[in-house]
Amino acid sequence: MALFDPPGSLEGERLEDGFGRRFSYLRLSLTDRCNFRCTYCLPNGFVKQQGLPSELSSEEIYRAVAAFAGLGLWKLRLTGGEPTVRHDFTEITRKLREIEGIRRIAMTTNGYRLAQRASEWREAGVDAVNVSIDTLDPKAFASLTGHDRLADVVAGVDAALEAGFDTVKVNSVLLRDLERSGWDDILRFVETRDLSWRFIEFMRTNDNTAFHEQQATPGEIVRDRLLAAGWEPQSREIGAGPAVDYAHPAYRGRIGLIAPYSPGFCESCNRLRLSSRGRLHLCLFGTEGLDLRELLQRDDQQEELVSRIVAAMPGKSRGHRLNEGDSGATPHLASIGG
Ligand code: SAM
């Protein structure tokens, strides 16, 4: 696996919150539209809400990212909704790459166009790609996402491996009905592929409470199964997210676990989020967010924009309150950028 070059030092991280956490990572939602209908996220598909402002234009996006980069955030993740439904996705990526201070661009996608576009996006400047696959059973995949396209998405993963991204990861939401039955398929999948299959504990949002109650499964189940089968936890890279990856000599790929319900999960939080309508979210499960849009209109507003971001930082809470059944103001992850 080719590792990315971390910055020479982390002194670039100048933005700090009230708990001494420093921020290197911006998750940027390009759109809240999505073409999939995942049961736990947008079960009825994307529904346009009347009265909301439009998505940020590419110019507004560049101004926002330039301000965050000036504050030392050097890693970007393009997400959504489904970021690749934006017709200007490739062009946006290419220009973001030119912003001083941005050293790494990752994207998260449902993979529906990845088989055709992997090389184009790599060439435009995407360093790392995460593809969402919750199950390798084609029928269960179709039922969960509303699209009978598992084969296309798997072809997309293989195209991404071919295209030479620094890392390819699979995001897989840990659902009770799927985790046992799908285990052997997943082991076969990672046996020969140089990627990391990441289980993510299913998080409760305001729209999925009933489904969450039925399907939530603690990450310990995966961890215990891995340890019992001889998988070993790996040390984390600089700037890496909260996942713990496990490796096994008989497998080329790794299996990881992201456990937002585990104690201390937020202690090392290094990320901020900007919604596709220009709201700064200090936490995925926080408030409605702080509007930055009026300060994204002209290049000469950068100073004011930076001051507004800095002034917001003391408002970042110590951690989310998912364990108390409080999902903040978040209806589903597509609304902020999962
Ligand atoms: N459309 C893109 C995709 O499918 O990857 C990007 C957006 S999607 C919201 C980002 C990731 O969030 C996906 O891997 C999805 O499975 C995950 N996700 C959505 N809702 C979730 C929830 N309630 N708990 C855990 N993960 C969730």
Using the mean position of ligand 1's atoms as its centre, give its distance from the Cα of residue 158 in Å. Answer: 20
| Predicted confidence (pLDDT) per residue in 1-31, tens digit | 333 333 433 445 689 999 999 999 999 999 9
Locate the ligand 1 atom nearest the alpha carbon of residue 41 and give its number.
20
Residue type, 217: T
Locate the ligand 1 atom nearest the alpha carbon of residue 203 and give its number.
24
3-state secondary structure the chain: CCCCCCCCCCCCCCCECCCCCECCEEEEEEECCCCCCCCCCCCCCCCCCCCCCCCCCHHHHHHHHHHHHHCCCCEEEEEECCHHHCCCHHHHHHHHHCCCCCCEEEEEECCCCHHHHHHHHHHHCCCEEEEECCCCCHHHHHHHHCCCCHHHHHHHHHHHHHHCCCEEEEEEEEEHHHHCCCHHHHHHHHHHCCCEEEEEECCCCCCCHHHHHHHECCCHHHHHHHHHCCCEECCCCCCCCCCEEEECCCCCCEEEEECCCCCCHHHHCCEEEECCCCEEECCCCCCCCEECHHHHCCHHHHHHHHHHHHHHHHHCCCCCEHHHCECCCCCCHHHCCC
| Predicted confidence (pLDDT) per residue in 258-279, tens digit | 999 999 999 999 999 999 999 9
Burial class (CB in 10 A: 0-12, 13-18, 19+), 290: middle
Using the mean position of ligand 1's atoms as its centre, give its distance from the Cα of residue 200 in Å. Answer: 9
Ligand 1 probe mutation, 29, 82, 147, 173, most atoms within 8 A of CB: 173
pLDDT at 179: 82
The protein residue whose alpha carbon is closest to atom 12 in ligand 1 is 338
pLDDT at 180: 78
pLDDT at 7: 40
The protein residue whose alpha carbon is closest to atom 9 in ligand 1 is 338
The protein residue whose alpha carbon is closest to atom 17 in ligand 1 is 338
pLDDT at 236: 77
pLDDT at 9: 39
Locate the ligand 1 atom nearest the alpha carbon of residue 131 and give its number.
5
Which residues are CB-neighbours of 199 under 8 A, at least 6 positions away?
172, 173, 174, 179, 219, 222, 255, 256, 257, 258
Using the mean position of ligand 1's atoms as its centre, give its distance from the Cα of residue 38 in Å. Answer: 9
Q: Which residues line ligand 1 (CB under 6 A)?
A: 34, 40-41, 79-80, 82, 108-110, 132, 171, 173, 200, 202-203, 205, 208, 333-334, 338
The protein residue whose alpha carbon is closest to atom 13 in ligand 1 is 132
Ligand 1 probe mutation, 132, 135, 208, most atoms within 8 A of CB: 132
pLDDT at 242: 84
Residues 274 and 26: beta-carbon distance below 8 Å: yes
Locate the ligand 1 atom nearest the alpha carbon of residue 79 and give its number.
6
Residues 163 and 118: beta-carbon distance below 8 Å: yes
Using the mean position of ligand 1's atoms as its centre, give its distance from the Cα of residue 37 in Å. Answer: 11
Residue 122 to residue 115: CA distance in whole angstroms: 12
- Output the six-digit token pair for 204: 């409760």
Q: Which residue has the tokens 């971390």?
A: 6
Low-confidence ranges of the chain (pLDDT < 50): 1-11
pLDDT at 1: 30
The protein residue whose alpha carbon is closest to atom 8 in ligand 1 is 338
pLDDT at 10: 42
